[in-house]
Amino acid sequence: MIDFEKLHYLKTGNERQKLAHQVLVEHQIFELLEPFDPLLTGTIPIHIDMASSDLDICCYYENQEEFASHLSHSFGKLTNFKLKEILIDGQPTIIANFLLADFEIEIFGQNIPSRQQNAFKHLLIEHQILQQKGEKFRTAIINLKLEGYKTEPAFAKLLGLTGDPYVALLAYPIDLR
């Protein structure tokens, strides 16, 4: 089982994962975010990314203003830096986006511990499903993404899940221990 709480698994992954590791380490992204328990999520860690896929990092903050200030101070001078505050499922959320090397980076913060955030849960569930279903399933997910599907709706379609695909995937019977 891959330890998605650390970045070292990227060093032995595919070329894009190796490049992601190099960029994150070279620019000390996780060191800068360390006070906020950063975790890499999204499609790159589980090899279902597209050329345009970003590096998604979820973070936990206790103080929203402090987190937003930290992001602006740490990354505000990077190309295309944007910071927004929105509500997601009634939860105040801070999102920062910027370009770094060959990647768009999205930092997503909530006052929810990182390992309990849906993005990290989706990563673990999707990884286990990909492990169980094999290469044909992974290829089918990528093909749906090429057709314009977002990741969770693609999984829901192939798994026959109904309702909100983001919620349905969280309820998928997988052992996350």
Structure tokens at 48: 């279902």
**What ranges do the domains of the chain cover?**
8-113, 120-170
Residue type, 42: G
Residue type, 146: L
pLDDT confidence of residue 176? 57
Residue 58, strand partner residues = 39, 108
pLDDT confidence of residue 177? 54
The residues, ordered by sequence, that sit 6+ positions from 67 with a Cβ below 8 Å of its Cβ are 36, 59, 61, 94, 109
For residue 36, give the DSSP letter: G
Query: What is the rounded distance in angstroms from the CA atom of residue 10 to the CA atom of residue 33?
Result: 18
pLDDT digit string, tens, across residues 74-122: 999 999 999 999 999 889 999 999 999 989 999 999 999 999 999 999 9
Residue 169, strand partner residues = none
Query: What is the rounded distance in angstroms from the CA atom of residue 40 to the CA atom of residue 72?
Result: 20
Tokens 């920062």, residue located: 96
Structure tokens at 171: 């309820």
The residues, ordered by sequence, that sit 6+ positions from 145 with a Cβ below 8 Å of its Cβ are 43, 48, 50, 151, 154
pLDDT confidence of residue 28? 95
Q: What is the mean pLDDT of residues 15-44?
A: 95
CATH number of the 8-113 domain: 3.30.460.10
Query: What is the rounded distance in angstroms from the CA atom of residue 174 to the CA atom of residue 177?
Result: 9
Q: Would residue 163 be called left, alpha or beta, if left means φ above 0 and alpha means ψ between -120 and 50 degrees?
A: left
pLDDT confidence of residue 52? 85
Tokens 């899940």, residue located: 161
